[in-house]
C-alpha cells in the first residue's frame, strides 16, 4: 500500500525536525552533548512526585483518573493564578487555561489564528518548536529586527505599520536558543508599540523561573494585558513529562483556544494537573525550585568561564542570568555545521545555530550550547576540546568552506 498518497497536503509543511535527528545522534553513549534542550533528570523531584501521586489519589480517588474539563482542573487554575501573581500577572482562576505544556498552546494558537499566507512576526533565531507548531497552517514569517536588548521597538512599529501581522511571537526571557532577555525598558517600549498598533503578542515564557542571578523582569503581559497571549509551563520547574502548562489569553481568543483544545486532546492529563496543583499549594515548589537553581547555577558559571578561558579571539557569546542556553557567534565565514561534524568525531555535540533561523544561510557561524545536562568539570572539558577544534579551523582559514550537510554515520 502506498501510504504516502494518503497523507494530507499539510504534511509537506511538517519538515522532518533536523534538531530531533541531531539530538538523537547526540544522545549516543560516549557523546558529551551540549546539544540538548532538556532539563537534567536529576532536577526532577521524583520523591515529591511519588508522594503527591499518593496524596492526589487519596484526596480525589478515581476522579483524578477521570476525564476533566478542557479549561483545566480548577484547583490548579487557582494555584497558577496565585503563583503568577509573583511575576506581576493579575489573573483570576477563570482566566487561566491549562495546556499540555506550552507546546500544546502553540499548536492551538496556530490552529485558531493562522490562515494560509498570514504573516507572523518572529525573531530570527527563534524557538524551532513554535515554527513546527505554526508551519502546517502555512504562515509567512516576517523577521523582527533585534539587537542584544531584544526587538528594536521602532523597527517593530514600522513592521506593524507596513505589514498586516497576525501576531508577534517572542520568548522575552532567557530565549531559546540565544539565552537573551529583553530589558525592562524594551518591554515597556514593545508594550507601547503593540498597544498603539493594536497588535497581538504571543509571549512564550518557559524559562523566567530559572533565574540564577539578577532581578526578575516583569512579563510584557503585565504591560499590555489585552494584547498578549501568555504561555507558562511546569516543564522546567517540575517535570516536562507531566506535560502541564498554562495560558492566559484575551477572552475572545481564550474561547477558541478551548474549542481547539477539545479537538486536540480534550484536556491535559488529570493526574498530572492534580500533582502540579499540590506542588504549588503545599509549598513543595518553595523548597524544590531553589534546589534546581542551585544545581544549574554553577553549570552556567562553568560554561561562561570555560568560554572565556578557552575560546579563541573573534568569538562572542551571550551571558544569560538564567535559562538553559548560551549562544556563541564565531567570525563571519565560519561554518559551524562543519565544526559540528568535526566535534562529533571527538564525541562532542552542540546544535549549529543556523537551524534556528528562518533565512536559509543565516547564522552559519553560530551555535547553541546547553549547560543543564552536565556537571561543571564535563562542561569545561567539552569546551576545551571544542575550543581546540575552533582554533584549528580559525588558524587554517575557513573562508572557502561550503555549507556542509551533517553526517551521522
Ligand X SMILES: Cc1ncc(COP(=O)(O)O)c(C=O)c1O
Q: Which residues bind ligand X (CB under 6 A)?
A: 37, 101-103, 127, 129, 171, 176, 204, 206, 233, 235, 240, 245
Q: How far is the CB of 203 from ligand X (least distance, A)?
A: 11
- Which secondary-structure segment (H or E) carries 44? none
Task: Please list the residues that pair with 233 across neighbouring strands.
Answer: 245
Q: How far is the CB of 244 from ligand X (least distance, A)?
A: 8
Helix/strand/coil percentages in the chain, nearest 5: 50, 15, 35
The residue among 179 and 330 lying less far from ligand X, judged by its C-beta, is 179
In this structure, what C-alpha cell is assigned to residue 395? 588558524
Q: CB–CB of 98/76 below 8 Å? A: yes
Q: How far is the CB of 302 from ligand X (least distance, A)?
A: 21
Q: How far is the CB of 45 from ligand X (least distance, A)?
A: 16
The residue among 326 and 390 lying less far from ligand X, judged by its C-beta, is 326
Distances (CA, A) of 9 to 3, 6, 18, 77, 260: 13, 9, 20, 38, 21
Q: How far is the CB of 356 from ligand X (least distance, A)?
A: 11
The residue among 216 and 341 lying less far from ligand X, judged by its C-beta, is 216
The residue among 60 and 355 lying less far from ligand X, judged by its C-beta, is 355
Q: Which residue, 212, 255, 198, 254, is CA-closest to 230?
A: 254
In this structure, what C-alpha cell is assigned to residue 109? 494558537
The residue among 245 and 306 lying less far from ligand X, judged by its C-beta, is 245
Task: Name the residue with the smallest CB distance to ligand X.
Answer: 101
Q: How far is the CB of 133 from ligand X (least distance, A)?
A: 9
The residue among 243 and 338 lying less far from ligand X, judged by its C-beta, is 243
Q: CB–CB of 252/100 below 8 Å? A: no
Distances (CA, A) of 303 to 4, 70, 178, 326: 45, 42, 14, 8
Q: How far is the CB of 311 from ligand X (least distance, A)?
A: 24
The residue among 157 and 203 lying less far from ligand X, judged by its C-beta, is 203
Q: CB–CB of 141/358 below 8 Å? A: yes
Residue 266 φ/ψ region, left for φ over 0, alpha for ψ in the -120 to 50 degree band, beta for the rest: left
The residue among 240 and 298 lying less far from ligand X, judged by its C-beta, is 240
Q: How far is the CB of 334 from ligand X (least distance, A)?
A: 25
In this structure, what C-alpha cell is assigned to residue 140? 509567512
Q: How far is the CB of 190 from ligand X (least distance, A)?
A: 17
Name the CA radius of gyration of the chain, rounded: 21
The residue among 206 and 322 lying less far from ligand X, judged by its C-beta, is 206
Handedness of CA 359, 23, 318, 101 (dihedral sign): positive
- Which secondary-structure segment (H or E) carries 273? helix 270-281
The Cα diameter of the chain in Å comes to 67
Measured distance CA(186)–CA(92) in Å, rounded: 27
Q: CB–CB of 22/351 below 8 Å? A: yes
Amino acid at each position: 500500500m502506498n501510504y504516502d498518497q494518503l497523507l494530507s497536503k499539510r504534511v509537506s509543511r511538517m519538515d522532518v525536525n533536523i534538531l530531533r535527528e541531531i539530538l538523537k545522534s547526540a544522545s549516543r553513549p560516549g557523546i558529551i552533548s551540549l546539544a540538548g534542550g532538556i532539563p537534567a533528570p536529576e532536577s526532577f523531584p521524583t520523591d515529591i512526585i511519588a508522594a503527591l501521586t499518593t496524596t492526589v489519589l487519596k484526596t480525589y480517588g478515581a476522579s483524578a483518573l477521570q476525564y476533566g474539563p478542557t479549561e483545566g482542573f480548577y484547583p490548579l487554575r487557582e494555584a497558577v493564578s496565585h503563583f503568577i501573581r509573583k511575576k506581576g500577572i493579575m489573573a483570576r482562576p477563570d482566566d487561566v487555561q491549562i495546556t499540555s505544556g506550552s507546546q500544546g498552546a502553540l499548536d492551538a494558537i496556530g490552529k485558531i489564528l493562522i490562515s494560509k499566507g498570514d504573516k507572523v512576526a518572529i525573531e530570527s533565531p527563534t524557538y524551532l518548536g513554535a515554527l513546527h507548531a505554526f508551519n502546517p497552517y502555512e504562515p509567512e514569517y516576517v523577521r523582527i529586527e533585534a539587537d542584544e536588548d531584544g526587538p528594536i521597538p521602532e523597527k517593530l512599529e514600522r513592521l506593524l505599520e507596513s505589514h498586516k501581522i497576525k501576531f508577534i511571537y517572542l520568548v522575552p526571557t532567557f530565549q531559546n536558543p540565544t539565552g537573551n532577555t529583553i530589558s525592562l525598558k524594551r518591554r515597556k517600549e514593545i508594550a507601547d508599540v503593540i498597544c498603539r498598533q493594536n497588535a497581538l503578542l504571543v509571549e512564550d515564557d518557559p524559562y523566567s523561573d530559572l533565574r540564577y542571578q539578577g532581578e526578575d523582569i516583569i512579563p510584557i503581559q503585565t504591560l499590555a494585558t489585552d494584547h498578549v497571549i501568555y504561555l507558562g509551563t511546569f516543564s522546567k520547574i517540575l517535570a516536562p513529562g507531566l506535560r502541564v502548562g498554562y495560558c492566559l489569553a484575551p477572552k475572545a481568543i481564550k474561547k477558541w483556544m478551548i474549542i481547539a483544545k477539545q479537538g486536540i486532546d480534550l484536556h491535559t492529563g488529570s493526574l498530572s494537573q492534580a500533582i502540579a496543583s499540590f506542588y504549588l499549594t503545599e509549598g513543595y515548589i518553595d523548597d524544590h525550585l531553589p534546589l534546581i537553581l542551585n544545581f544549574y547555577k554553577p553549570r552556567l558559571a562553568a560554561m561562561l568561564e570555560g568560554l572565556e578561558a578557552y575560546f579563541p579571539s573573534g568569538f562572542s557569546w551571550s551571558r544569560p542570568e538564567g535559562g538553559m542556553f548560551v549562544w556563541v557567534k564565531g567570525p563571519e565565514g565560519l561554518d559551524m555545521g562543519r565544526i559540528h561534524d568535526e566535534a562529533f568525531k571527538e564525541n562532542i555535540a552542540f546544535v549549529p545555530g543556523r537551524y534556528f533561523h528562518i533565512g536559509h544561510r543565516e547564522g552559519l557561524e553560530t551555535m547553541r550550547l546547553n549547560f543543564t545536562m552536565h556537571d561543571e568539570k564535563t562542561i569545561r572539558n567539552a569546551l576545551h576540546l571544542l575550543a581546540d577544534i575552533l582554533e584549528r579551523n580559525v588558524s587554517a582559514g575557513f573562508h572557502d568552506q561550503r555549507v556542509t550537510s551533517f553526517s551521522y554515520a
